[in-house]
Amino acid sequence: MTAMPPRVRSRVVALAVVALLASAIALVAPGATAARSDTRPVAGFITFPGHGTGKAPRVRVLWFTRDWQYLGQKSANGGSYALNLVPGTYWLQFVDRRPSWRTDKYAPTDVKVTVRAGRPTVRDVRMQRGAFVTGRVTTGAGVARKARVAVARTLPDGQEQSFDTTANGRGAFAIGGLPQGKWSVFAWDRRERWVGPSVWAGRVRTGTGTDVRVRLRRHSGSLRVLLYTRDGSALRGRTTVTVTSARTGQWWTGTVRGGTAVFPGVHPGRYRLKFDGVGTWLGSEGRIRKAKVRSDRATIGTYRVSRRGGWITGQAVDAGAPAYPLGNAQVRLYDVYGTKVDETTTSDSGGFTLDGQLTTQRRMTVVIDPDPDRGGYVQTVSYCHFDSRSVSDISVAQGKETSLGTLGVARTPGQSPPC
């Protein structure tokens, strides 16, 4: 099992804010995929109530679109942070980077910001001391040395959140920095031989914790899942899937390779699978067929992937002479937030297809750049330079084609000799 990333204001001196924003202007956010380069600085101070006067904890800041699509992350040490973001609305998430066994660790903090054109954004962040769970793990053979332990819960939107650690040589563990809430505890012995049901830790509150005992008394089994698409062929590509025990609610996360995912050391019983999506196939969730895991045995089950994303087709041609296609043009697709979703190159006939995991959505934009390798010059009626063309307000429907038809791309005016 791997830890799911958490989904996860103080008064300041005006001159200090100005200095912090000045440092942000020179910063280019790594991992950003925005369509435009007109970024604006976003900065603020990070405070840690109850920490005292020592060195501030190391923090990592992650940023997402307003519907929680991941964009990037970077370190934010020294009690402040600074980013450059394209105007729009974002979620920023601040995570204490200290080890999980620190019971004084701060919980992840989520902040919503709106970046506007023409001015910087100042947003301070106040971290909150997290809750913690401690305990000890044993198996039917004694102490579970170096056992893996995770605390998990389901968020109101149905997403799962977990934090994990490794127990010490005596089976003891501590997991700090938890958001306040109700948690369950899962564990696996190091050799993946013993399993047991989850242990209910109950509600843990900010700055406090609870102690539990985890007992693993059953031998595990192994589960192999064969994933196939609507036409019966093996799922292609590499992605992540999660299997959940119908009996205990415990889940394991693994990687699909060649249409197969293997889960050793799982609890006996039946399972459901959550598919994260890959290529043109959208994520889904359902029962694993023909699979009931038994202790000390291998089981094989199947899962059908059937939800395909939408796709966009079109043909780029010379607007002044539509009979001439524009081959080798770069075509990019952006969503409503300016995030690049897909990219392709036109064929010799000017045709292109943009796809991937496209759910039903509106206000998408396609940008065509004629042969960027040659600086926009293409041989049609003559050797001419072409401008980029943007097509906006495009709607996409899941599982269906959106045809843009023939798209004329204009030649750059004022060329000599005229094109």
pLDDT for 103-151, tens place per residue?
999 999 999 999 998 889 999 999 999 999 999 999 999 999 999 999 9
Instruction: Give the residue extent of every domain in the chain.
Output: 14-127, 131-218, 220-304, 311-409
- For the domain made up of 14-127, give the CATH fold: Immunoglobulin-like (2.60.40)
Pick the CATH number of 220-304 from 3.40.50.970, 3.40.50.300, 1.10.357.10, 2.60.40.10: 2.60.40.10
Angstrom distance (rounded) from CA 74 to CA 133: 28
Q: From 10, 21, 90, 87, select the one nearest 56 (Cα to Cα).
A: 10
Residue 294 scores a pLDDT above 90: yes
Alpha helices in 146-258, H assignment, sequence order: none
pLDDT band at residue 156 under the 50/70/90 scheme: confident
| CATH topology match: 220-304 vs 311-409 | yes
Token pair of 295, please? 């202790």
CA distance linking residue 259 with residue 257, whole number of Å:
5
Can you identify the CATH homologous superfamily of domain 311-409? Carboxypeptidase-like, regulatory domain (2.60.40.1120)
Res. 82 pLDDT band, cuts 50 70 90 = very high
Paired tokens of 73: 């992350």
The 10 Å Cβ neighbour count of residue 55 is: 10
pLDDT in tens, 177-211: 999 999 999 998 999 899 998 899 999 999 999 99
Task: Supply the mean pLDDT for the chain.
Answer: 88
User: End-to-end CA distance of the chain, in Å?
Assistant: 62
The token pair at 82 is 């600074």
120 cis-preceded (ω within 30 degrees of 0): no
One-character DSSP codes across 103-125:
TTPEEPEEEEEEE-TTS-EE--E
Give the number of C-alpha atoms closer than 13 A to the C-alpha of residue 59, restricted to the C-beta side.
29
Q: Of 10-14, 69-73, 164-168, 186-190, where does mean pLDDT reach its minimum?
A: 10-14
- Grouping H, G, I as helix, E, B as strand and the rest as coil, residue 200 is strand
The predicted structure's pLDDT at residue 418: 75
Instruction: Pick the most confident of 52-61, 116-125, 341-350.
Output: 341-350
Tokens representing 376 are 């926009």
Q: Which CATH class is domain 131-218?
A: mainly beta
Reported as a pLDDT band with limits 50, 70 and 90, residue 155 is confident
Distance from C-alpha of 138 to C-alpha of 217, rounded to nearest angstrom: 8
| Pair of tokens at residue 227 | 């994933």
Distance separating alpha carbons of residues 268 and 362, to the nearest angstrom? 45
Structure confidence at residue 42 as a pLDDT band (50, 70, 90): very high
Locate 172 and state its tokens.
């003891």
SS3 22: helix
**Confidence check: pLDDT of 91 > 60:** yes
The yes-or-no verdict on residue 335 having pLDDT over 80 is: yes
Among candidates 370, 241, 360, which has minimal Cα distance to 312? 360
Is pLDDT above 50 for 283?
Answer: yes
